[in-house]
Amino acid sequence: MAITAAMVKELREMTGAGMMDCKKALGETDGDMEAAVEYLRKNGQAKAEKKAGRIAAEGLCRVAVKDDKTAAVVEVNSETDFVAKNEDFQTYVEAVASQAVNSDAADLDSFLAESWHLDASKTVKEALVDKIAVIGENLNIRRFAKVCANDGCVVTYVHGGGRIGVIVEAATDVVNDGVKEALMNIAMQVAALNPKYVSTDDVSEEYKAHEKEIIAEQIKNDPKMAGKPEKVIEGAVAGRLNKELKEVCLLEQVYVKAEDGKQSVAKYIEQVAKENSANLSIKSFVRFETGEGIEKKEENFAEEVAKQMAGN
């Protein structure tokens, strides 16, 4: 399969690997993008967390809360940052969030087909089309998530003026200012450190096995580990996997406000529960970051790649 400049560009942005490394990876995998990502990771030239790609789209995330039990977060994209800062657009995104927190839609298509709460004669999709006509720029309701806490409460947090929107759901028999403040701190932690799971219990054995395979290949390609006994290599693999899980699992992360710089989020939750005589635990979280995984425009990067490829 012919490897194009656009393919090299896409792989580079997905992995952060060098241009010629990406070209080689695509050649070795006959242009299979997923296999090329695996190839680069196994050779230590890419990191799993970069797979989502560079954040490039504009727009806003907004949250809406209803009676401490229900919350929704939405992401609405625009073409330019100028529009994202427009008051009319911001008001519209808030209205979309309000629609979402009262919606029973199970997916985006169903959501777009609902009656628009500000004008029942239109659907959400039709109201979006009208807003596009007014603003004069393409807009897109990209996604939404609704969280209902049946045995606790929800807390929301918006960072960077709408760049990141977070919902944290907790199971708790006490909902007071102390508990809410703690959950807000956890929401800020989620925004800052971008965990993937609540705890290691949520991580599938399939994921762990896959990551162990990747780590094993990385160690195999590490000159410092050459000739090491199998037991040492197995220990290194387990150690790196545990370290990775601590980074991607919320409760295992170091709490960002820990006074000793060591306290985990789990220990912080235990401390708050004790101080407030509460049975408190984190059930789930949602984190939206505006434009994650979307590339805004091509610019001239493909031409640059093509020229370098032609010279090699």
Share above pLDDT 90 across residues of the chain, in percent, rounded to a whole number: 56
Burial of residue 163 (number of CB atoms within 10 Å: 0-12, 13-18, 19+): middle
Tell me the fold of 58-169. Tetrahydropterin Synthase; Chain A (3.30.479)
Question: Quick check: 301 pLDDT over 60?
Answer: no
Torsion of CA 275, 276, 280, 282, to 10 degrees: -80
Question: Quick check: 284 pLDDT over 80?
Answer: yes
CATH 3.40.50.300 assigned to domain 1-54+295-312? The reply is no
pLDDT tens profile 68-85: 999 999 999 998 888 899
The domain segmentation of the chain, as residue ranges, is 1-54+295-312, 58-169
Torsion of CA 193, 163, 69, 282, to 10 degrees: 0
Question: Quick check: 55 pLDDT over 50?
Answer: no
pTM for the structure as a whole: 0.74
pLDDT band, very low/low/confident/very high, at 137 (cuts 50, 70, 90):
confident
Region of residue 59 (phi > 0: left; psi between -120 and 50: alpha; otherwise: beta)? left
pLDDT of residue 302: 52
